[in-house]
Structure 1
Amino acid sequence: MFKIPEGPQQIIHMLEGRGHEAYVVGGCVRDSLLGITPHDWDICTSALPQETIACFSEFRVIETGIQHGTVTVLLEGEPYEITTYRTDGFYSDHRRPDHVEFVRSLRQDLERRDFTVNAMAYHPQKGLVDYFEGQTDLINKQIRCVGDPDRRFQEDALRILRALRFASVYGFRLDDATARSAFSNRELLRSIAGERIQEELCRLLCGCKAGVMLTRFTDIFSMFLPEIGELAAFSKNGAGWPDVWAETVRGVSSAPADRLLRLVMLLRDIGKPFCFTEIRRGSMRFYGHAGISAELAGKALRSLKFDRATISTVEELVGLHKIKLIPSDRCILRQLSRIGEAQFRRLLAVKRVDLAAQENAERDKAMWRLDAVEKCLERVLAQKRCFRLKDLAISGRDLIMAGMPQGVQIGNTLQILLRLVIDGKLENTRDSLLAHCLKEGWFGHEYKQTECHADCNGNQRHYPSEY
């Protein structure tokens, strides 16, 4: 039916040579039947863990999860997980079985698994083993639990989110019984660690049916992101009010399948329920919502144990997603200095998707302005214009050699010079920059700490004083 690589075939052959059964199993079978190249090839076997180790005594064996029957064998540097047939005991924490029992029956092993599409095994000679019609579910594009869905979800609550993730990534749907059970058991997700939810959420958001899952299963997402529940409830509160949750879903669906961008689109408006003003019936304003949304987004991501870099990047993009960008060199250079090229490009992508998700009469004009901003960005980058301290023609060492005392004024002076170069008031040459310092009498003088200037968008920012 499909070809198994040499490594898994060798493992199956070696196990069978010692009198044991062995099959490839789970996701690699599912993906192969879908015509997708598997990332990993997992093997299940009737051999007990110690019997498996004995079979591969000439290879490096890692006792990955031997208490649950799993060992990893390295074949020519490639790791392969081999797991003994087992049945699971009671799941007291709704995540992992308290104990497992090793068995010799493949059927018993497959019937403990989560979904029918993951409960198939394959042997290069014997073919497909499919006790629960998983192949039929693949053809029908549906996710269905093996056996009683309530039992499956109560054993491991993360399976609720995994069901949505599989449906999103593969473009499938949940069968009716599985969907009903996912709703009725959603409270169990509160017991799952944030790190595990984070991993499933990110993969789900990058799926082709992420918008469908967010729309149909909003109440499930609200279990670990209550801000989503607030946003969805706000959208239903009054006739004629803007459907901000629908805009959020459209934004996620329209964004490139990039983890950071889709997180931004999911969280960019979660502050709106807390800062709305109704100008007239059906017409609302959300003053300051970007800042509030950024604060709430950071809190939400921290609760799901995201890494600091992701939190910082998403929080900044949410906070800036409504900033007005002007297609001028000065504005572009200031933003590049503030957030860097990579983040500025992400901001442009966010603003494009944000505009596309809205039903706004001024949308086409705003899109045209973004096109102009992007052209301006490409031009200043091609010209290698200065927008970072390292691009300046002088360094702190140059200032010290010219007679400036070491201390905070070195950094302040470089920031001032960078701002003047960005604004086109000074040429970025060593002679020009040092001449300006000399003209202003900065060598040997003290500096004020900060002085407030308006940036290219009229926002008040604090930069080092010029003198």
Structure 2
Amino acid sequence: MDIPENVQAVLKTLEAAGHEAWCVGGCVRDALSGRRPEDWDVAASARPEETLAVFGSRAEPTGLKHGTVTVKTPGGPVEVTTYRVDGAYRDHRRPESVTFTRSIGEDLARRDFTVNAMARNLRGELRDPFGGREDLRRGILRCVGDPDRRFQEDALRILRGLRFAAALGLEIEPGTAAAVRRNREGLRDIAAERIQVEFFKLLPGKGAAAVLRGYPEVFGVFWPELLPMVGFGQRNRHHCYDVWEHTLHALDAVPGDVVLRCAMLLHDVGKPACFTLDEKGVGHFYGHPAVSRDLADKMLRRLKCGTAFRETVVRLVEWHDKDIPRTDKSIRRALRILGEADLRRLILVKRADNLGQAPAYWDRQQELDKAEEILDRLLAGDACFSLKQLAVNGRDLLALGLFGPAVGKALEDLLEKAVDGVLPNNREALLEHVRKNRESGGEGGEYERP
């Protein structure tokens, strides 16, 4: 295990002062599985005040109650946490008290899963009292000790376990899986922000669809709107799966980006509420994009998602079933409304939605290829689709004598005409159009005269 130099320096300094020090948790797990660790956590026998004394001005008390001191190093901050034993948990969230200990074994025993309950020191010695390395080799996720106790201590561990399964490709062993289901209601005591963090780390995982498929009732605790999709038959030749299975196949067909995965998870959440059967027994879901949009907005607000993230996902959900003709004019209009980033996301969403349908209808991918080709060509030709790209600006119109709301109205009109190809995005042509419009008295009510 290649420990970064700054982390090695922290370990050496602690050992030189007479303390034990180990790399613990996720960094050991990731290094053993051939992944590059993102974070390096250090556990030490030193009490917080001892760690502060060892590192002096380089140390800051960032979590003394739980024994955590942050050491500033040239390679970035390193958290050093005293070995501890957790006290009783009363709210499915955090221990009421912690007791510091000098035993790394006792510290590892309080951790959630065996693959996270390993420690390694500077000399490469591995402490693995619960068989985490073997579980990692076998691709198994298993709780340390009694899984019911682990999840009752901190219910967020339920989502952490599902996230590890999705991200690391681990299979949850039967006893732990049963405890996940038994204790899922504990998630109601967890803050929405904490659920959001874990859930949005889960969604990009390669195994996200499989985990969602295996544990819908768990996710239904905080997003009950998902549950009606499970097993809901579509009764339509375009679909070979029920709504939930279609959703999971579509989710699996987009890249592992949390915006795209979230959009795919929610794109058909409104379908069960919109289901109708025609006289031939064929199922239809008229209006489901709008219903899905509204539900998605409420669900994302419930998880306290940021405004930009929520609005992007909701926009993709609303647009996922809209037909955008494969013409320059239509693509330019879509660019104007969505912007390049979201239009490219929408194409990926439409591709995935189609791949979640019956294979006989996968030829729609060719139409999406055409849309992407037009988009690429328009952008390569510096197509105008936003006010920033328009060859004139507000100052130009003020110089012509427009003022107040008339300026914004004229700019929007010019942009629309440039997008539709009625006018070229040329400064002189656009200004000439404004001049003629004003001279004719604003024919058609396009602009106001001052």
TM bracket (short chain): over 0.9
Match of 2:107 in 1: 109
CA gap of 1:41–1:285, structure 2 versus 1, over 3 A, is same
SS at match of 2:360: coil
Partner in structure 1 of residue 22 of structure 2 = 23
Q: Tell me, what secondary structure is at the counterpart of 1:75?
A: coil
Show structure 1 runs of 5+ residues with no match. Answer: 449-463
* Residues 1:339 and 2:338 are matched in the alignment: yes
Maintained 8 Å contact 2:235/2:283: no
1:359 aligned partner, one-letter code: A
Matched, 1:152 2:173: no
| Partner amino acid, structure 2, of 1:421 | A
- The Cα shift of 1:401 comes to 1.6
* Amino acid of the structure 1 residue aligned with 2:90: S
The secondary structure found in structure 2 opposite 1:78 is coil
| 1:419 aligned residue (399, 416, 421) | 416
Q: Distance in 2 between matches of 1:221 and 1:11?
A: 40
CA distance in 2, matches of 1:90, 1:105: 19
2:313 matches 1:317:
no
- CA distance in structure 2 between the partners assigned to 1:339 and 1:247 by the alignment: 26
**1: CA distance, partners of 2:279 / 2:366:** 29
Which residue number in structure 2 is paired with residue 460 of structure 1? none
**Distance of 2:416 and 2:143 partners within structure 1:** 60
Q: Which residue in the other structure is 1:432 paired with?
A: 429
Displacement, 1:443? 7.6
1:356 corresponding residue in structure 2: 355
SS at match of 1:389: coil
Structure 1 residue 281 displacement after superposition: 6.4
CA distance in 1, matches of 2:439, 2:306: 42
In 1: Cα distance, 2:126 partner to 2:427 partner:
73
Counterpart in the other structure of 1:262? 261
Shift of residue 429 of structure 1? 2.4
Q: Is contact 1:403–1:444 with CA below 8 Å preserved after alignment?
A: no
CA offsets 1:46-85 (integer angstroms, 9 cap, x no match): 111101111112x411211111011111122421111111
8 A contact 2:326–2:371 mirrored in 1: yes
Residues 1:298 and 2:283 aligned together:
no
Counterpart contact for 1:206–1:259, Cα < 8 Å: yes
Alignment of 1:274 with 2:273, yes or no, is: yes
Residue pair 1:416, 1:466 contacting (<8 A) in 2 also: no
Matches for 1:221-260 after TM superposition, within 5 Å: 221-232=219-230, 234-235=232-233, 243-260=242-259
Aligned partner (choices 193, 206, 209) of residue 208 of structure 1: 206
**Aligned residue pairs: how many?**
447
Superposed displacement of residue 13, structure 1: 2.1
Instruction: Provide the residue aligned with 1:71 in structure 2.
Output: 69
Deviation at residue 6 of structure 1 after TM alignment: 2.5
Query: For residue 457 of structure 1, what is the aligned residue in structure 2?
Result: none
Query: In structure 2, how many angstroms separate the alpha carbons of the residues matched to 1:280 and 1:152?
Result: 53
Aligned to 2:10: 11
Contact 1:235-1:241 at 8 Å conserved across structures: no
Identity %: 48
| Per-residue deviation, residues 415-435 of structure 1 (Å, max 9, x unmatched) | 112212222222222332233
Secondary structure of the residue aligned to 2:264 is: helix
Whole-angstrom distance in 2 between the partners of 1:443 and 1:56: 78
- SS of the residue corresponding to residue 388 of structure 2 reads helix
Distance 2:74 2:427 in 1: 57
State the partner residue of 1:142. Answer: 140
**1:32 aligned partner:** 31
Provide the C-alpha distance between the structure 2 equivalents of 1:236 and 1:143, rounded to a whole number of angstroms: 35
Q: Is the 8 A contact 1:3 1:124 kept in 2?
A: no
Q: Give the conservation status (yes or no) of the 8 Å contact 1:437–1:443.
A: no
Q: Distance in 2 between matches of 1:141 and 1:362?
A: 36
1:52 is matched with which residue? Answer: 51
Q: Structure 2 stretches of 5 or more lacking a match?
A: none
Partner Cα distance (2:157, 2:141) in 1 = 11
Aligned counterparts of 1:236 and 1:92: Cα–Cα separation in 2: 44
Are 1:130 and 2:128 counterparts? yes
Residue 71 to residue 231, structure 1, CA distance change in 2 (3 Å): same
Partner of 2:88: 90
Aligned residue for 1:384, secondary structure, equals: coil
Q: Report how far residue 125 of structure 1 moved.
A: 2.5
